Amino acid sequence: MRAPLTLAILTALSCPAMAVEIDGRIDPSEWQGARQLADFRQVQPLTQAPGTLSTQAWVLATPEGLAIAFRNEQPASVPRTRQKVQRDFEAQVDRVNLIVDFDGDGRTGYNFTVASTGGIADAVVTNETQFNDDWDGNWRHAVSEDETGWSVEMLIPWYIAPMRDGENGQRTVKLYLDRVIGSTGERSAWPAASFERPRFLSDFAPVQMPQYSQSLLAVTPYVSGLYDNIGGDSDFDGGADIFWKPNGRFQLSATLNPDFGQVESDDLVINFSATETFISDKRPFFTENQGIFEFTTPSDYSQLLYTRRVGGPADDRNGAGDIIGAVKLNGSFGATKYGVFAAEEADEVGRTFSALRLVRDFDTQNLGAMLTRVDRPYLDREATVAGVDHNWRPTDRVSVETRLIGSQIDQDSETTRDSGATVWVNYEMDDGWRQQWLAMHFGNDLQLNDFGYLSRNSTNYLNWQVMRRFTDLPADSRYSSKDWRWRISGTDNDHGDRLQRQLRISRQSKVRDGSSEYAQININSSGVDDLLLRGNGVVDKPTNFIATYEYDRPRKGDWSWELDANVFSGGLAGNDKIGFDVEFVPTYFINDAFSVYAGAYYERVPDWLVWQHDNLIGSFDEDMLQVSAGMDWTISSKQELRVKLQAVGLDARLHQAYRVDGTGNAIASSDPVDDFSVRNLGFQIRYRYELAPLSYLYVVYGRGGYEQEPFSEEAGEALRDSLELRDDEQLMVKLSYRFEI
């Protein structure tokens, strides 16, 4: 019995796979010879027990792409979410996920998500657990449902990503599949890997399949017209994105005169600090197969290649840089993968960007190197950064990530060099216990921000964190899982000044109704602030704390809502003055396709320190009120309408001016420092129609403004006045269409 069965399976697997019709209905004849998966285990909560509902999947390599099918049993006793979702949704709905690591090296995964109502999301996964949903791929999907459950079929073309050659006509990829029950938040997966662990991509299951290769040439031209209602003039523009993949090992993408994402709207930011706000990039060229260029460190958002620099604020501070074009090559030779990036801006203030990336995978580790260079002729500046990254998995329980970075800045006939390094060790123990050690050093003159992003240099940081996950909670408990974390850390700058010592205690909890809850408290020692004075010395600060609570409740009936609250101390007053902020954002669903939301955020900071000039700072009583409102209407599978409003009013009343002496003491001063108020507005109406995959018609109306006045105005009045701002008012129409050859 066993021998004939084995022979039949081998015969089926060796035969060329027939085409699968992607219609959401799993036809056994189409999926003959596919590998069937049924052992889906709970990973949220991380019990690894069998999923409460039966889930089956089929995996089949075909000449047209990697075909995946899911059959999700869901009886009437388990509510089905009917909510329509837009692309790259984050809503808690019934859905399935496929993540593919085409090279099987644990470095880059491609995530494909399909909701039970047909909505999709896609993302790139790097650094084991880091998801970036800015990328949009061209892949096929379909959904069907019946009384006992629902089914999904996907087809992922082989040209979706660069991949190394296989051996003897076979390819080994690593896969992860999961299914989420929207009403409870339960996630069951095959294999039982979890992004709540330090290692995720590395724990995917290897699957051997026939090697196929597809070539593709895609050209996506765009034209746009913009009418400026303030200046009364019009502007017409055009450009194109080009994607060419002649084989599996190599692909080229290029862009000519790309737009700077006018159809997107970034969240409003009022930033009086000395550090830059990080903003993600959604321009198609800069997100297409960008994973190989991921070189990050444990410091918040730090990376060697930050694509928002290309076409960012020009060096003469007169608008944004005008991008002539950019090109990106991805490929492999043998076991080594490479990436080449180059971009050029126009005019005498234009910059030249270039980057080279190499990656090599071994059995238990991978090694990479990256080199970036930026020529800034207007500033007579050349910036070169080199980095080496090493990821080591000595055992199933231990992972070690190491980064070495160096920078060289040549400006005005002077050369400045410095370096940085990070080491991150994670150790998975028994019974939900884990430990983490992290060390970071960024030299005082390390400079990454010509092409990359680093919130601050001059840093020496150590932490030790112990974690315990509880998943065996009683059946009558409100929670399905709790994850406690205890951390101690210390931070000094590169001059030996103590910036902070911190004790952090936090708990991440999953509620049985699908909600999530997070609480955290940071207790901070006294130390100095070496950024506030912008290089004019340091400021001594006393002990302080911050306590955080977040609650996210998914849709139940017609409502969902989010609640965030913080209580904190700080400034020169330390724990003598307590501030707080709170945000509440409810969403009402008029129907499954149409929702509206209106939320409010209030902040009260009784000792807000704002730098004025040299060693002069002001301590302010600050109040800020923000309103966020909008609507999302999924008109059909190809049409959506989005309205987004953000308005901010800030009032800062001077409490006391201070001069800081050479030892960091803040001394009361009679220097004149004004009260001030800020008003900020962002409003957008965006209609999108999908003409074909990755081909869109956009109609976008936007209005906004920013105003700061040297007088106090109540936060509520400033918020009301912000609605009258009209620094910018534009109507834009953009058409892009992807031609595939």
Instruction: Give residue-wise pLDDT tens across range 602-660.
Output: 999 999 999 999 999 999 999 999 999 999 999 998 999 999 999 999 999 999 999 99
Sign, CA torsion 479/196/283/295? positive
Give the integer Cα–Cα distance in Å for 275 and 273: 6
Residue-level pLDDT at 662: 93
Delimit the domains of the chain by residue range: 13-214, 248-260+276-455
pLDDT digits over 581-614, tens only? 999 999 999 999 999 999 999 999 999 999 999 9
pLDDT digits over 513-537, tens only? 999 999 999 999 999 999 999 999 9
- Do 373 and 406 touch, CB atoms closer than 8 A? no
Residue-level pLDDT at 333: 86
Residue 14 clears pLDDT 50, i.e. is over it: no
pTM across the whole model: 0.90
Q: What is the mean pLDDT of residues 106-118?
A: 95
Residue matched to tokens 């209905």: 25
Residue-level pLDDT at 485: 98
Residue-level pLDDT at 261: 56
Q: What is the mean pLDDT of residues 179-194?
A: 96
Burial class from Cβ neighbours inside 10 Å (0-12, 13-18, 19+) for residue 127 reads buried
Residue 12 clears pLDDT 70, i.e. is over it: no
- Do 596 and 585 touch, CB atoms closer than 8 A? no
Give the integer Cα–Cα distance in Å for 606 and 22: 59
Residue-level pLDDT at 477: 95
Q: How far is CA 725 from CA 12, 600, 678, in A?
A: 67, 19, 11
Fold topology of 13-214: Immunoglobulin-like (2.60.40)
Give the integer Cα–Cα distance in Å for 245 and 16: 23
Give the integer Cα–Cα distance in Å for 598 and 561: 10
Mean of pLDDT over the chain: 93
Residue 1 clears pLDDT 70, i.e. is over it: no
Residue-level pLDDT at 51: 96
Residue-level pLDDT at 260: 59
Q: What percent of the chain has pLDDT over 90?
A: 85
User: Of 6-10, 284-288, 411-415, 576-580, which gets the smallest average pLDDT?
Assistant: 6-10
